[in-house]
Amino acid sequence: MISTLQQMSGNAVQKRILKNDFPRRDNTPNYPLKLPSDFGNLITKFMFRCNKNRPNFNELADYLKITDAYIDAVRSFDIEHCEFFFKQELTCLKITFVPWEKLAEECKQLKMNRFDLIFVLRKLVNSGARHTMQTFCLSDTKINLAGDWAKYLGNFFPLLTTLDLAFIKINQYEFQQMCAVFKNLKRLSLRRNGITSVNGVSKLKQLEVLDVSECAFSQKEDLSDIFDLEQLNVLKFTGAYYDLRNIELYVDNNRSAPRLAYIDFSSNAITRNTIEKIVKTHPRLQTFLLIGCVIDDIGNIEEVYKHIKFYLTTSLSHCFESIDFCCFKKEIDFSDMDDKLKDILEDIDNMLHFKYYEQSTENIVKSVEYICKANSVVKTLTANRFLTNCFYTLCLKPTRCQLFNHHQKQMIVHDLVVAHERAMRCIEPDGKDILYRVWSVLILEDVVESNCKYLGHVCRCAREIIANAELDLKCRICAITVLAIFIDKLKPTFFKIVTSGISLEEHLYRLLEVSSLTHLEYTYVSLLIRKLHQLNTSTCNKEKRNIVKKYMIWMDVFEEYRDLTMDSLIAILPSLGKRPRVYFREKEYNLL
């Protein structure tokens, strides 16, 4: 159990590292600190940020003692990172979707489809940690492992108890070799890695958890070894694009592993008749996951088999239970949690969106709470997109917004800000779609209230959107509208954050020159410039003040002469001085 003092120390160190102020270089002593294992996750994620304010890894390695290393979807990975981890006594190493080719010259063999895993591990793991390593995870769709990697990996990590090779392409020979060398394995994940038979897995006498999701099997004998695993407690057999074949082959064996109590058949097409066959052949079954399954005839199966807890997505209440299970069932390690949450959120979105799903007021209100729970653990952009879809569907109807109290609206705003921050890390088509939906909700007057405690964060995010010229105009106009409405309600601290660092006025002036602006959009851009001028005048330098003043004069003129025809407006131009020509487009301002 980690003491409060250790947690406080960990938090303090984390803040100092984020400021690139650890170890300290003044006379204050730097004591070695053993950090909580979950802090190792946080700190390793920080290490792979851009090189702009990069810490000294050699110095950090002398003071930070990390047992769990998570190297997840980083942009850069080099020898300096390896040296840091080499000095740690690791017991858990998880590496997912890493740009290996940047590590060293030797890793360019990747292009020749011969990736030397042991070569890389020797740079990451010292000899002591090799014999204490209990968990190793390697997930990547790009690499093909070289030679007899399974045999060498077994010798490299002789006491390994958890092995996760999701998405790594392996053949049947390599699978057989793996089963022969990893005698101590208790957990094995072979998710979507191309194996067509699990025969040989019965050699792993201590195996308790097996994941063979999204693998394609052709005959029932391909699965027969599963039923000989005497210690097997958890079987994950989620679908390969709703293919019925895998489930049918499993049922055709008409057997069960002796201790099997938990089955995950999520994302499969399955019938009630098949479910009942499985229940009858598995006397110890306690938990049955059918999240995202297409089941037309589920009926009252929960009432018939009360000794089994089913997790379904056939109704909103079922979806709520499934979210609770995925988020808080700590004894089950969901390597595919985001996929499950994506399926649940997609079903919730459909139920809230389509008229033939009539939802009670209670369920509509409860959906906010459960979507927020899912948001606390969502990681991928795909799941993030379905989460924002749910909020978009929930808030799009004003009658629904009126059902939410102040606290629930604040929860929605908080989660939309989090979704915004996730999407901003990867502004691809998916990220742009998420941002548009986020700001389509935040612009609604019934969602963001003037006394919302997250108002400052919303305005900070709006500034990021306005300054990003890559984004769609509609998304940027939504952010401008929100900022125009709330900027004068910000506390001084947040106002300084929102207006410092970039010239909002400069971006807004550029937007005024966009030919497709409607009159309403033009009005909000103008309104925001007015407010920035009023609030910023005392802090602007003289040159900037003159620029703002010039544009403000023109907006005053525009308001004063809005009833004039275009010809009359042009006639008075000489007396006004030179103005940007874009403001006299006849197609928008004719006969104003």
Position 192, amino acid: R
Q: Show Cβ contacts of residue 555 under 8 Å, excluding neighbours closer than 6 positions.
A: 526, 529, 530
What is the model's pTM?
A: 0.75
Tell me the backbone φ, ψ of residue 94, rounded to 5 degrees. Answer: -125, 120
Two tokens, residue 466: 């306005």
CA 2 to chain centre: 28
- The pLDDT of 338-351, averaged and rounded, is 87
Q: 148 vs 416, which has greater pLDDT?
A: 416
Q: Report the SS3 class of residue 145.
A: strand
pLDDT of residue 332: 56
Q: How confident is the model at residue 107 (pLDDT cuts 50, 70, 90)?
A: low
In DSSP notation, 395-415 reads HHSHHHHTTS-HHHHHHHHHH
For 358-369, the pLDDT digits (tens) are 778 888 889 999
Q: How many whole angstroms separate alpha carbon 181 and alpha carbon 173?
A: 13
Which stretches of 425-454 are DSSP H helices? 429-442
Please, what sign has the CA dihedral across residues 203, 209, 211, 217? positive
pLDDT of residue 256: 94
pLDDT of residue 75: 63
pLDDT of residue 589: 33
Q: How many whole angstroms separate alpha carbon 555 and alpha carbon 575?
A: 15
Q: Is the pLDDT of residue 373 over 50?
A: yes
pLDDT of residue 544: 47
DSSP state of 132: T
Q: Is the pLDDT of residue 566 over 50?
A: no
Q: How far apart are the first and last CA of the chain?
A: 71
Least confident of 14-18, 492-496, 576-580: 576-580
Q: How many whole angstroms separate alpha carbon 206 and alpha carbon 161?
A: 9
CB atoms within 10 A of CB 563: 9
The full set of domain ranges for the chain reads 1-160, 518-589
Tell me the backbone φ, ψ of residue 133, rounded to 5 degrees. Answer: -65, 125
Is the preceding peptide bond at 580 cis, omega within 30 degrees of 0? Answer: no
Q: How many whole angstroms separate alpha carbon 567 and alpha carbon 397?
A: 44
Least confident of 105-109, 467-471, 500-504: 105-109
Helix (H) or strand (E) holding 570: helix 566-571
For 1-35, the pLDDT digits (tens) are 233 333 434 456 555 655 555 555 555 555 555 55
In the numeric block, the tokens 């709470």 are attached to: 369
pLDDT of residue 181: 93
**Under 8 Å between Cβ of 491 and 452:** no
pLDDT of residue 286: 94
Q: How many whole angstroms separate alpha carbon 494 and alpha carbon 457?
A: 8
Q: Report the SS3 class of residue 210.
A: strand
CB atoms within 10 A of CB 592: 13
Q: 160 vs 244, which has greater pLDDT?
A: 160
Tell me the backbone φ, ψ of residue 162, rounded to 5 degrees. Answer: -130, 125
Q: How confident is the model at residue 198 (pLDDT cuts 50, 70, 90)?
A: very high
CA 156 to chain centre: 32
pLDDT of residue 485: 84
In the numeric block, the tokens 């403001």 are attached to: 583
Q: Is the pLDDT of residue 513 over 50?
A: yes
Q: 591 vs 84, which has greater pLDDT?
A: 84
Position 588, amino acid: E
In the numeric block, the tokens 């900070």 are attached to: 460
Two tokens, residue 189: 């994940």
Which stretches of 144-256 are DSSP H helices? 149-156, 172-181, 245-252
Mean pLDDT score of the chain, rounded to an integer? 77
Most confident option among 39-43, 45-49, 485-489: 485-489
Tell me the backbone φ, ψ of residue 511, rounded to 5 degrees. Answer: -65, -35
- The pLDDT of 412-431, averaged and rounded, is 83
Q: How many whole angstroms separate alpha carbon 75 and alpha carbon 95?
A: 13
Burial-class residue 61 by CB neighbours within 10 Å (0-12, 13-18, 19+): middle
Two tokens, residue 444: 């609604």
Helix (H) or strand (E) holding 417: helix 406-424
Q: How many whole angstroms separate alpha carbon 439 and alpha carbon 430?
A: 15
**Under 8 Å between Cβ of 393 and 359:** no
Q: Show Cβ contacts of residue 487 under 8 Å, excluding neighbours closer than 6 positions.
A: 459, 495, 498, 528, 531, 532, 535
Q: Is the pLDDT of residue 65 over 80?
A: no
Burial-class residue 544 by CB neighbours within 10 Å (0-12, 13-18, 19+): middle
Q: Is the pLDDT of residue 554 over 50?
A: no
pLDDT of residue 162: 94
Q: How many whole angstroms separate alpha carbon 343 and alpha carbon 241?
A: 12
Pairing of strands 33-34, 262-264: unpaired
Q: How many whole angstroms separate alpha carbon 500 and alpha carbon 139?
A: 41
**Under 8 Å between Cβ of 189 and 214:** no
Q: How many whole angstroms separate alpha carbon 139 and alpha carbon 95?
A: 6
Please, what sign has the CA dihedral across residues 191, 193, 197, 202? negative
Please, what sign has the CA dihedral across residues 496, 498, 502, 504? negative
Q: Is the pLDDT of residue 379 over 50?
A: yes
